[in-house]
Structure 1
Amino acid sequence: MAVDVGRVQQCINLVYLEFYRITGVPLKDTFFSSLDEYAPKIIKLYRSRSGAFGEDLKSLLDKLDQKTTNVVLHRKTTALQGLPVFMRENTNSLFKSCLDTDVEDSNLRGTQMGILSVIEDDGATADTVNGNVRCFSVIIEEHIVVDDLPDLPTALALLFGLIYALNLKYPDELKYTFETLQKVFMHLDTNLSARVLSFRNKMLRM
């Protein structure tokens, strides 16, 4: 199925404009500038502490180490995917995946807000290390609200923007992950919780 690039870009631009109207902060420039700066430090922090987080963080780093193309993008993606793990929250409630032949309501059920990776069905499982990601979608209240997005950082930035545009509350099980995006990446508040402050300080020392 062909992607309507113009429609997707229009959705992206509308979210960016509404976020700026609400906060006075440019979502795209601020988010990606912070990600450019922080991703290498975050990956170093993950590597230094991976043993304290069981297999989840180690698995993300192993997948990153297997990448041979688009390494910078994969590094940024891994930095974001690891946030819920490092915050000891449920990463599976934020990041989901399915095959492009299996995008059904069952994949969305119970998801208050999250990112869906749609994997090309070429005999692989719904696992981004074994298959090629065709696109990313933003889920809110069990519905795909924006789809055909090119990468996970863009999808997560849009999800964050939509939270503001729709005046949504962060899910309790992901409150520290979204606080990190709000206060560390977007610089929208300086009053950090102890957990997020600890993460920021450790990351900046890398």
Structure 2
Amino acid sequence: MARVRTEAKREAILETAAEVFKERGLDGTSMSEIAKRLGGSKATLYGYFPSKEELFVHVSLGVVSKQILDMIETMPNRAADDPRDVLLNVGRQLIRRVSNEDAITAYRLAVAHGRIGNLGRIFYDAGPGKGLKVFAAYIEAATKAGHLSAADPAAAAHHLMALFESETTYRRALQLDDDISPEEVEHTVTRAVDVFLAAYGVPKASQATRE
């Protein structure tokens, strides 16, 4: 008789796994321990998540994606504000979250196991893909408000995301840096915003004329 998968069971697995990963880290966690705490079998666990690595990515995405989306989803509502203020604020918070250890580990695993269970697509859609959509919506709204000038908001969103991550994400992913100081975050984000506004910003005089 085929086992019936339920969303409630899936959420219970994610919740239990999050507790174990938090206590023991990825390397110190086993599927046996998660199943034991869950009160079920490893077979049931594997029926939902084919590997410990995939389970970790889903757990990390659930935490990091919610934090990031809660932070950036109001960006389009700030289209009338000074874009420098909006982007600096978002950039600082974004870099801190995407460069933390769990987020970086999830990124590494998604790259390494991307074709297993469509993990790469799952990671992209739940993380960067959602962020890019919000960025594009903000850029389009800010362009209509006369504060930015982007003929292709979707392309500009990719540029913005790449600029924010250019000095930190790959170095963390490749384990070249153990951490990023608040000072480094500030300098990195400021440079990224400067470059973005050099390409897509509107001179203050032009903004005043439109207003």
Query: Which of the five TM-score ranges fits, normalised by the shorter chain?
Result: under 0.3
TM-score between the two structures when normalised by the length of structure 2:
0.24
Give the number of the structure whose alpha-carbon radius of gyration is greater: 2
Structure with the bigger percentage of helix? 2
Q: Provide TM-score, normalisation by structure 1.
A: 0.24
